[in-house]
Structure 1
Amino acid sequence: MASNNESGVDLLESLRNPDNKRLEEKVKQLREREEAHNAKAAQRLKDLIASNSTLPVTISSIRLIGQGSQHTRRSFLDRLFNPILSANRDAPYTLSEALQEAGSAADKLRRFEIYHDVSMFIDKPSPTDPSSTPSDINIFLSARERGRINLKTGTDIGNVEGSAYGNLLWRNIFGGAESLSLNASKGTRTRSSYQAVFDTPIASDPDKRLTIDALASATSKPRASHEEVLKGAGLKYSWAAKGGSRHQVSYSGAWRQITNLATGASPTVRNDAGDSVKSSISHTWTSDHRDNPLLPSRGYLLKTVSEIAGWGPLRGDVGFWKSEIETNAAVPVPIPGIKGDSGVSFSTGLRAGMLYPLPVGFSGAPLPSRVNDRFQLGGPTDIRGFNIGGLGPRDGNDGVGGDVYAAFSSNLLFPFPRVGKDTPLRLQLFANGGRLLALKDKGGNTSQSVYSTVAGLADGLPSLAAGVGVVYAHPIARFELNFSLPLVVRKGEDARKGLQFGVGINFL
């Protein structure tokens, strides 16, 4: 007590004395003492829990308190909390088990993203409560609600793209962590885009979600001499599996138009111009074990996407099976003389895809693919050193896409000089390449055509480029500014030598 009083007297004297340096030192000392006291108190609590970890306890109640907690409905919280109440369990808890279960419930509450902070503390019931027992504990979750309505506007600048956007997000609409997002944007390449997305968890589980969305957009595609207008809607259900992987099954229906053809549009683009209707179901599986999805230094990613359109009861006027696989792996690179993590890492990625023509309905001949369904390859987020859609089949000046592709990339990343390894800024050396092919005509035999085209991926060297650049991993997106040098370019492909700027969340 004496030391605390002396510190208070010293602080008052410092306030009277205009010696700012002395005042700062005293404040710093008080803060250090307070932090040390809090650390000791936390450690004593941990020791107390550890020494009583096998003590039998009963979770009699769980309560959510804090600013905005009244906006979350009781039935939603009951599904989350009731399973861990002792009254609903056959086996008794130990103190350690009770805290673990309550911590798991708190973590689920955080993942709904409707609260800023969720902290947990325990208390004993009132001694005057006749129904309480010595082993009863009450658990309180203190939370501060995020803003329920968030409006954001701004501008984006990317590779050959500039846009202005507005976004309205409404959280916790009905008190069950539902959200509605309304997005609108206008730009130089995406002429206009309007999207509405409603998302809700299923059975108060943040890992099971149902999403309904609607979209209307008009996108200029000058490298294929047309504009695509799209109107559609979809339904998605996603869930988490054991091991950390995720699944998503979705249905989408879309009306597409290839319109506003340029004067020099190729016969391929003109043949596909007009309306088409796509009705499809798809499945996405993702297993991401990287330490950072935008700037990984260790771990791996596996991802598959499969889509079937038009076949059987799906109808529409396009039919195909489209499948893609993506892998990515990163490892830290040790540097002699540097202990621990050097900040240098090596990553490599591979993507491949195939579009297999199918008949529409239950019978008939398979339909050839259309420009707006084929794969496009090239650009600052996949094959650097080539323009967007710069690889693969061409008709005149138009990049018309392909049905089979494979692409790869290798990147060596270094901490930026005098900045350090703990920042999201890196220098990179890269080499990447790939091939994109159209199905070969095999007299109407689709299987032979697909097999022959896949085999053709290994026919000769792929298109290649290498370079050096700067990478900045912002929490929202990754930014790259690279100097690229094309090394292998096939006739007609649209290579790009020099500086190239890219913004995205998925890079090869």
Structure 2
Amino acid sequence: MGTFRAKEANMSGNSNQDTNNAIPRGRYNSKMTDGSSAYFNSERDLLEKEDTKEKSIDLQTVKARVDRIHVDGLMRTKDDIIKAQVTDLFKAKDMQDVIIRAYKVKGKLEALGCFRSIGVYIDTSQGPHASSEGVEITFTVREMRRLMGGINTMVGNNEGSVIIGAKAPNLFGRGERLQMEYSQGTKSSTNINVSAVKPLVDSWFRTVLTGSVYNTTSDFPWSGYHQCDKGLLLDIALNPDGAGILKHNLQYEATYRKMICSKQASFRVREQSGPSLKSALRHICSIDKRDSLIFPTAGSLIQFSTEIAGLGGDIGFVKNELIMQSNWTPHECLSFQLGLQSGLLRGINDNMKINIVDQFFLGGPMNLRGFDMRGCGPRHDGNSIGGDAYWALALHLYTPLPFRPGRRGFGDLFRLHGFVNGGNVSNFTFKFANDYKENMKIFTENVRCSVGGGIAMKLGNVARLELNLVMPLLFIRSDVLQKFQFGIGLQYL
């Protein structure tokens, strides 16, 4: 959050000395209503009253203008990239506006990835050219080292990973960085990633360019195959509002994929095994107004993604996916959350194929609770083969722990959690006009539903942990149920 320190001129001179002279020392005798006497130390009592007296100041009424901005601690960072971030401060008209804009500028400087720490100091303007309402703002920064590395942990997809990384931040003084990561997951997944990042801070859209090459291996025992990906990803991130609420990501991905079947894999999975080449364009748009990523109490999230594959290679499809979430808190101890996810996958033509890797799957502790990972939907000989259309809906109720142990501390990391969720995944047909009624059966037939509750824990601001007891209400015989579930991840239904 940073530290704002405002210095106020001493208008009363030696106030302590004047106060001591005005209040004579000694003890004063006062008659009580019952006739008894009590002694009071006049100096001590008056000072205590002054300490407990609250004074409120409307900062909007305090006129102020920024005369100078100082940035101390710059070594490698270029001046032009700093000027582009701080010039917005000169538009401030009052003290409240100065503080708000200074906080936003601090966030912009942090987003550059050039500094380890940033402090903000506000002082009255001094010197022969100082205005009567002028202030000076000083940013004290500590730049990152030229080469950094470390070992971290990451959670996601109900899997934990150990990450060994190294990066060279602020390579050329304008926020550029080169980073390398190697991760090993708890489910035999590995990932090697080398990325180059270049922020275009002077652009109106606050564009960030990223180029990555990667090598990823993942195991999917629920579907009977092991996947190896080698590819290239180019990403253009746009943040037009500057506050991180509206975001756009334009991506191009070229991937060589190799699918290896297990010995127990069904024939439907085996016939799709082998290498494939996917070349795709992707657009992700999100509007996130939530007050927290893990336990939001207010705000909403809307995210829509579109992927078009078939610019090269043998994989071709159009894939759309929608994620929505709304949060409201009628009482400080009750928070409701409504979540919706849906997706649709269509092939481009008969010459292009759709692989099982690209299908939608439902089920899991962070997805459709009460079912095993990929535990509901089309199956073949015990393997989940997914579908090309799905929907899922969930209503959550969160409350603090009973009697609020550890309030405003460790206890605030926990929530009691009750929910009801449902959904379905199936295959659509688009060949005939009367297929519309057949496709609408995804909302009426074979719908899965479950209710449950448990405890959820916040892990920093990057993931959540859930331990739930779930009772499936609607399911079919081929589904794989799971009444006790432990889940960990960031994205959840």
- TM-score category, normalised to shorter length: 0.7 to 0.9
Partner of 2:27: none
Q: What's the CA shift for 1:197? A: 2.8
Q: CA, structure 1 residues 50+301, in 2 after alignment: closer, same or farther (shift >3 Å)? A: closer
Q: Does 1:247 align with 2:237?
A: no
SS, match of residue 219 in structure 1:
strand
**Structure 1 residue 122 displacement after superposition:** 4.5
SS in 2 for 1:105: helix
Verify: 1:433 aligned to 2:422, yes or no.
yes
1:186 alignment partner AA:
Q
Q: Give the letter aligned to residue 151 of structure 1.
A: G
CA contact (8 A) 2:156 2:490 kept: no
Q: Which residue of 1 aligns with 2:289?
A: 289
Q: CA deviation at 1:125?
A: 5.8
DSSP-derived class of the 2:222 partner:
helix
Map 1:210-289 → 2, pairs under 5 A: 210-242=209-241, 244-259=245-260, 261-289=261-289
Query: Is the contact made by 2:119 and 2:139 (CA closer than 8 Å) also made in structure 1?
Result: yes
Task: Give the TM-score, by structure 2 length.
Answer: 0.79
Structure 2 CA distance for aligned equivalents of residues 158 and 235 of structure 1: 22
In structure 2, which of residues 385, 395, 401 is the aligned counterpart of residue 410 of structure 1? 395
Partner of 2:316: 319
- Equivalent-residue separation in structure 2 for 1:288 and 1:323 (angstroms): 19
Using the TM superposition, give the Cα deviation of residue 215 of structure 1 relative to its aligned residue in structure 2, in angstroms. 1.5
* 5+ long unaligned stretches in structure 1: 6-28, 87-92, 335-340, 360-364
With over 3 angstroms needed to count, the CA separation of the structure-2 counterparts of 1:501 and 1:180, relative to structure 1, is farther
Q: Residue in 2 aligned with 1:489? A: 475
Matched to 1:256, the amino acid is: R
Where 1:491 maps in the other structure, the secondary structure is coil
Equivalent residues of 1:266, 1:397 under 8 A apart? yes
Question: Structure 1's 85 and 163: CA in aligned 2 closer, same or farther, altered over 3 A?
Answer: closer
Code of the aligned partner of 2:69: I
- CA gap of 1:448–1:4, structure 2 versus 1, over 3 A, is farther
Amino acid corresponding to residue 270 of structure 1 in structure 2: R
CA deviations on 1:16-35 (whole Å, 9 max, x unpaired) are xxxxxxxxxxxxx9xx99x9
Asked if structure 2 preserves the Cα contact closer than 8 Å seen for 1:106 and 1:141, the reply is: no
Structure 1 residues 281 and 466: alpha-carbon distance in aligned structure 2, compared to 1, 3 A threshold: same
Q: 1:225 to 1:210 in 2, by over 3 A?
A: same
Q: Following the alignment from structure 1 to structure 2, what is the Cα–Cα distance between the partners of residues 407 and 4?
A: 69
Secondary structure of residue in 1 paired with 2:363: coil
Pair 1:172 & 2:170 matched:
yes
The alpha carbon displacement at 1:318 in A equals 0.8
Q: How far off is 1:469 after superposition?
A: 1.0
How far apart are residue 350 of structure 1 and its match? 0.9
Q: Which amino acid aligns with 1:116?
A: S
Post-superposition offset of 1:437 = 0.6
Q: Distance in 2 between matches of 1:100 and 1:411?
A: 34
Of 44, 61, 71, the residue aligned with 1:64 is 71
- Which has the larger share of helix? 1
Alpha-carbon separation, structure 2, partners of 1:295 and 1:83: 32
Equivalent-residue separation in structure 1 for 2:110 and 2:78 (angstroms): 16
C-alpha displacement at 1:98, in angstroms?
6.9
- Give secondary structure in 2 for the equivalent of 1:297: coil
Q: Confirm or deny that 1:504 pairs with 2:484.
A: no
> Using the alignment, how far apart are the partners of 1:225 and 1:99 within structure 2?
57
Structure 2: stretches of 5+ with no match in the other structure = 1-15, 21-43
**1:372 CA drift (Å):** 0.7
Matched letter for residue 251 of structure 1: Y
- C-alpha deviation, 1:225, in angstroms: 1.3
Identify if the C-alpha distance between structure 1 residues 164 and 133 changes in structure 2 by more than 3 Å, giving closer, same or farther.
closer
Task: Describe the SS at the equivalent of 2:271.
Answer: helix
1:229 offset after TM fit, Å? 0.2
Tell me how far apart the structure 2 counterparts of residues 78 and 291 of structure 1 sit (CA, whole Å). 30
Instruction: Assess if the C-alpha contact under 8 Å between 2:386 and 2:425 holds in 1.
Output: yes
Post-superposition Cα deviations, 1:427-450, rounded to whole Å, max 9, x if no partner, equal: 11111121111234x6xx28876x
Return closer, same or farther for 1:154/1:302 CA change in 2, 3 Å cut-off.
closer
Match of 1:399 in 2: 384
Change (3 A) 1:203 1:185: closer
Q: What is the Cα deviation at residue 406 of structure 1?
A: 0.5
Are the counterparts in 2 of residues 297 and 332 from structure 1 also a CA contact under 8 Å?
yes
8 Å CA contact 2:155–2:490 kept in 1: the answer is no
488 and 317 in structure 1: CA distance in 2 versus 1, 3 angstrom threshold? same
Q: Corresponding residue for 1:345?
A: 335
**1:407-433 deviation per Cα after TM superposition (whole angstroms, max 9, x unaligned):** 111111111123356502111111112
Q: Report what 2:345 is aligned to.
A: 355
Task: Tell me if structure 1 keeps the 8 A contact 2:155–2:489.
Answer: no
Between the aligned partners of 1:156 and 1:405, the Cα distance in structure 2 is 28
Letter in 2 for 1:458: F
In the other structure, the counterpart of 2:181 is 183
Q: Would you say the 8 A contact 1:218–1:229 is kept in 2? A: yes
TM superposition score normalised by structure 1 = 0.77
Indicate which of 398, 420, 441 corresponds to 1:456. 441
RMSD, aligned α-carbons: 3.5
SS in 1 for 2:83: helix
Deviates more, 1:430-439 or 1:397-406: 430-439
1:299 is aligned to 2:289: no
Answer whether contact 2:257 2:277 (CA < 8 A) is retained. Answer: yes
Cα shift at 1:308: 0.7
The answer to whether the Cα contact below 8 Å between 1:199 and 1:211 also exists between their aligned partners in 2 is yes
Q: What are the superposed Cα offsets for residues 143-188 of structure 1, whole Å, 9 maximum, x if unpaired?
A: 2326445433255688874543323344333222233332212234
Q: Match for residue 201 of structure 1?
A: 199
**Contact between 1:182 and 1:195, CA under 8 Å: does it hold in 2?**
yes
With over 3 angstroms needed to count, the CA separation of the structure-2 counterparts of 1:288 and 1:137, relative to structure 1, is same
Conserved? CA contact 2:254–2:279, under 8 Å: yes
Q: Distance between the aligned counterparts of 2:433 and 2:72, measured in 1?
A: 62
Whether the 8 Å CA contact 2:453–2:468 is kept in 1: the answer is: yes
Q: How many residue pairs align between the two structures? A: 441
Distance 2:389 2:60 in 1: 59
Q: Larger deviation: 280-289 or 416-425?
A: 416-425
Identical residues among aligned pairs (%): 25
Quote how far apart the aligned CAs of 1:274 are. Answer: 0.9
